[in-house]
């Protein structure tokens, strides 16, 4: 018989720790007018926002029987989706094989292996350690596809899997709406697979078409904006691959904001030293983009701008 958890405040497993993250006001970085509000996605058990997508994609596959109970799972990952999948696979008893580019941070590899995943590294073909290009990611993708065939496993395919977007339509978007009491004026996020941006912006626009939604892009890799990619290699691991991701759609986008590596480093430091929030580079880039939006007048001066603190700073080497 299933254990009873009803009247207590005890979660049945780490899976129930995914989502429902707190929102924090960055009033020291941006004292106003307007506010920058950040979702603490680093508080998910896998340490990043990708836990939500991982849970959405695994529960979707189990529901439509693409994945059998205890069946094998394969995915290519920059490390965060992998950690999310590994949390779920550990609890649910699925064998998990992950492939990643050798250029991603070794901290992420340590976490995935510790959670019981088998991790295969693909060599870099273009970038350098800490900076992973789309070509590098494609090497890891090819490795995942061949391992998947060998194992007859469920291939998660986060870049094309619409359950990735659905997870954010059903959880992250409604949480933002609820936590701001519907007062959110703008949303900005960098895109990797685009699951988070597309899902959140779709939900927020469905509640109010007046919410303005912006994509952050690394300077020189602004493919969503339609610019030629001149700098495919940058510090924003997990986002800004210099392409328009398959899960992305322009219908909820009001504009883009470009962020340099220097700005990401500056805001990573500011978030830690003034807000007490030790987060990764894409989180810092999201906050930099929110500041730029408020400074540029693209949103009203008193707007509440919501963004995402995607992962913990502990996932990166100093």
Ligand X SMILES: Cc1ncc(COP(=O)(O)O)c(C=O)c1O
C-beta pairs of 263-272 under 8 Å, 24+ apart in sequence = 263/288, 264/235, 264/236, 264/288, 265/235, 267/29, 267/291, 268/313, 270/29, 271/26, 271/29, 271/309, 272/313
For 155-189, b/e burial (b = at least 16 CB within 10 A) is: bbbbbebbbbbbbbbbbbbebbbebbeeebbbbbb
Q: Which stretch binds ligand X (CB under 6 A): 60-68, 78-86, 249-257, 291-299?
A: 78-86
In the region spanning residues 248 to 307, those forming contacts with ligand X, defined by CB under 6 A, are 280, 282
Work out whether 44 is an interface residue with ligand X (CB under 6 A).
Answer: no
| CA separation for the pair 185, 261 (Å, rounded) | 27
Residue 46 interacts with ligand X (CB under 6 A)? no
196 binds ligand X (CB under 6 A): yes
Q: Does 172 bind ligand X (CB under 6 A)?
A: no
Please tell me whether residue 192 binds ligand X under the rule CB under 6 A.
Answer: yes
Which residue has the CB atom at the shortest distance from ligand X?
A: 238
**91-99, 129-137, 191-199, 270-278 -> range binding ligand X (CB under 6 A):** 191-199
User: Which of 34/263 has CB closer to ligand X?
Assistant: 263
In three-state secondary structure terms, 111 is helix
User: Do 293 and 305 form a contact (C-beta atoms < 8 A)?
Assistant: yes
Residue selected from 310, 312, 313, 316 as contacting ligand X according to rule CB under 6 A: 310
The reply to whether 56 sits near ligand X by the rule CB under 6 A is no
Residue 194 near ligand X by CB under 6 A: yes
Shortest Cβ 82–ligand X spacing (Å): 9
Listed residue (129, 138, 143, 90) closest to 113, CA to CA:
90
Helix (H) or strand (E) run with residue 285 in it: helix 281-296
- Identify which of residues 44 and 124 has a Cβ nearer to ligand X in the complex: 44
User: Which residues form the interface with ligand X (CB under 6 A)?
Assistant: 48, 50, 78, 80-81, 190-197, 238-239, 280, 282, 310-311
């Amino acid at each position: 018989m299933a254990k009873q958890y009803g009247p207590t405040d005890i979660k049945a497993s780490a899976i129930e720790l995914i989502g429902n993250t707190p929102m924090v006001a960055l009033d020291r970085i941006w004292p106003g007018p307007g506010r920058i509000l950040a979702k603490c996605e680093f508080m998910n058990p896998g340490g990043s926002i990708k836990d939500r997508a991982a849970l959405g994609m695994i529960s979707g596959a189990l529901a439509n029987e693409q994945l059998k109970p205890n069946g094998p799972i394969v995915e290519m990952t920059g490390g965060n989706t992998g950690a999310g999948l590994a949390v779920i696979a550990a609890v649910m008893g699925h064998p998990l094989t992950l492939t990643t580019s050798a250029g991603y941070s070794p901290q992420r590899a340590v976490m995935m292996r510790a959670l019981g995943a088998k991790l295969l590294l693909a060599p870099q073909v273009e970038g350098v350690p800490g900076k992973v290009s789309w070509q590098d990611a494609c090497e890891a993708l090819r490795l995942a596809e061949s391992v998947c065939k060998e194992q007859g496993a469920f291939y998660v395919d986060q870049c094309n899997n619409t359950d990735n977007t659905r997870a954010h339509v059903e959880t992250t978007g409604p949480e933002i709406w609820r936590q701001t009491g519907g007062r959110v004026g703008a949303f900005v996020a960098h895109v990797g697979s685009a699951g988070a941006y597309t899902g959140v912006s779709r939900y927020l626009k469905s509640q109010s078409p007046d919410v303005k939604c912006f994509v952050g892009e690394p300077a020189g890799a602004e493919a969503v904006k339609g610019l030629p990619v001149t700098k495919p290699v940058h510090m924003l691991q997990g986002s800004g691959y210099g392409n328009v991701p398959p899960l992305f759609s322009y219908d909820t986008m009001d504009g883009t904001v470009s962020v340099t590596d220097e700005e990401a480093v500056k805001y990573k430091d500011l978030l830690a030293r003034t807000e007490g929030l030790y987060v990764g580079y894409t989180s810092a880039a999201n906050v930099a983009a929110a500041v730029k939006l408020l400074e540029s007048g693209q949103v009203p001066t008193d707007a509440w701008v919501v963004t995402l603190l995607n992962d913990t700073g502990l996932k990166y080497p100093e």
